[in-house]
Amino acid sequence: MKHRIVVLGAGYSGAHAASRIARRLRREDVEVTLVNAEPDFVERVRLHQIAAGQDLLVHRLDELFAGTGVRLRIDRVTGLDVEDKKVATETGELRYDTLIYSLGSFGRTPEGTYSVADYPGALRLRKRLSSLGDGERVPVVGGGLTGLEAATEIAETRPGLAVTLATAGELGDWLAPGARRHLRQVVAKLGITLEENRVVDPGETGATTVWCTGFTASTLAEGTALETDADGRIKVDETMQSTSHPDVYAIGDSACAPGPRGQVSLMRCGAGVPQAWQAAGAITARLTGRKPRCLPLGYVHQAISLGRKESLIQFVTWDDRPRRGFLTGRAGAHYKELVCRFAVNAIRWPQRMPGRRRAVTTTPALDGDQVHT
């Protein structure tokens, strides 16, 4: 009987994990099923572009995974029983031997506001912006990466709108001094009204307020026996294996994973993709009688789009502290575009790389049994 691997969610983390596992294990030994509510792969890091009215290339999941052996199931997950090893969906249920939980996160959006945290929210904001005339206000709440990208994209695409950006602290206060100065210059050049040190109450919002103050993990795991943190993220070890259920792995925004220097990993694409690679490697190793190799997970940069002509690439230390070096202007925009393209193309690449698929053993090794070579 084939070993059943079910991946929940085809965002960046889930799609990367499914692709790499399918490439490394023999198809006659495993059955990899990828469950996603929608048929298209959503480039979440580009949703501000969708909201601003730009038309982007659509990546269909069936095309991304054509010929890989991954079975796609376009369905919505409604429940999870980790004791009986089954997943409930709108159209039935799935049983698994190994589960990869990658259901991501959603934006904390008060009623009456708009969001760029998911595709339906970006489309809703796009429709609203298209109905606005010059001079109408578009307040953006939240000065983090999402808020910065939304405000600058809207201001550049629709220069006639009165875009404001409210941030609870100083603009870019986590950046290196030079990068912070450049950010201020770009915001001023785009005509964005900056409101610093301002905490906005949801009751103060206007008719077209874009809320970008953070994300919350999917709540599905909270109703299960899985060990989770206060935010509902599944607690995992350095191989992304659940600390309470060894047949479950969690990656991306769904995972409370150990980061550099004992920190908890951030909800960020730059963390989720390496976590997917880590989980795929660990699952492959354990199923083929080898010891997983744990690669240290850390950070390299913060890549922030500031419209189509500008970007700010803040290089950071392994534990996410700003370095002095950064990229701006066209060079930064080109860098950010390469990052976005890599995140999609790397889903296809494992299937096109030379190598052999390994056989699944009947008695997977424990971590202390054999060194991974």
- Residue pLDDT, tens place only, 181-193: 999 999 999 999 9
Q: How many residues does the chain have?
A: 373
**So what's the pLDDT on residue 169?**
94
- Kindly report the average pLDDT of the chain as a whole number: 91
- Predicted TM-score of the model (pTM): 0.92
Separation of alpha carbons 312 and 171, rounded Å: 14
Note the pLDDT tens digit of each residue in 146-164: 999 999 999 999 999 999 9
* pLDDT for res 12: 95
- Residue 98 bridge partners (DSSP): 5
Confidence of residue 74 (pLDDT cuts 50, 70, 90): very high
Residue 25 has pLDDT above 80, yes or no: yes
Quote the pLDDT of residue 277.
94
124 neighbors 116 (Cβ within 8 angstroms): no
For residue 326, CA distances in Å to 174, 193, 304 come to 13, 25, 11
